[in-house]
Copies of this chain bind each other. A is one copy, B any other.
Amino acid sequence: MRDTRDAFHVAIPTHDLDTAVEYYVFGLGARLARRYPDRVTFDFFGDQLVCHLDPAAVVPEPVAYPRHFGVSFARPEDFDRLLTLIEHRKLPVFSGPALRFEGTAEQHRTIFLVDPSNNILEFKQYEDPRLQF
C-alpha cells in the first residue's frame, strides 16, 4: 500500500491551459488546485498532475506506448464508475475497455483515454489487486 499523505507527481505538456482545465476538471473529475501563467495543477484522483503550457512538446498524434499515466483501481466498482463517467461525459476513448493478460493471475481490465493535447491516460483494475504493481 502507499502512504495516504504523499502524492505521486506527474507533469505533461498541454497546448492550452483552459482546455486542460476543461478536460481534467469538467471531464475526468479532477480538481483544479493552482494556476500560473505557464501551468495548471490538479488533484488527480488524490495525486498531483501538472499540465505545462508547452505546445511544442505536444505530440502530433497520440501514441499509447510507452508514455502514459493513470490509475490502477483496487476495487472493481471504481473502475465501473469511471466507465460510467466516460460514457456520460462522452470523453474520447483511445482504446478499450479491454481485458488484458486474460487467463493469467495478472488479468486486468484496462481503458485508454486521450486528452486534448494527445497525452494518453490508462486506467486499470486487476482481479487480484496485490498484483497491481
Binding site secondary structure of chain A: mixed
Question: How far apart are the CA atoms of A32 and B110 in the complex, in Å?
Answer: 22
Q: Which residue of B lies closest to A64 (CB)?
A: B11
Task: Report the contact-size class of chain A (Cβ under 8 Å from the partner).
Answer: 35 or more
| A8 CA / B109 CA spacing, docked (Å) | 15
CB distance from A27 to the nearest CB of B (A): 10
Within 8 A of B (CB), among A1-45: 1-14, 25-26, 29, 31-35, 41-43, 45
Q: What are 9 A-B residue pairs whose CB atoms fall within 8 Å in the complex?
A: A7-B74, A8-B8, A8-B45, A11-B68, A25-B33, A33-B131, A33-B133, A57-B67, A69-B69
The answer to whether A130 and B45 have CB atoms under 8 Å apart is: yes
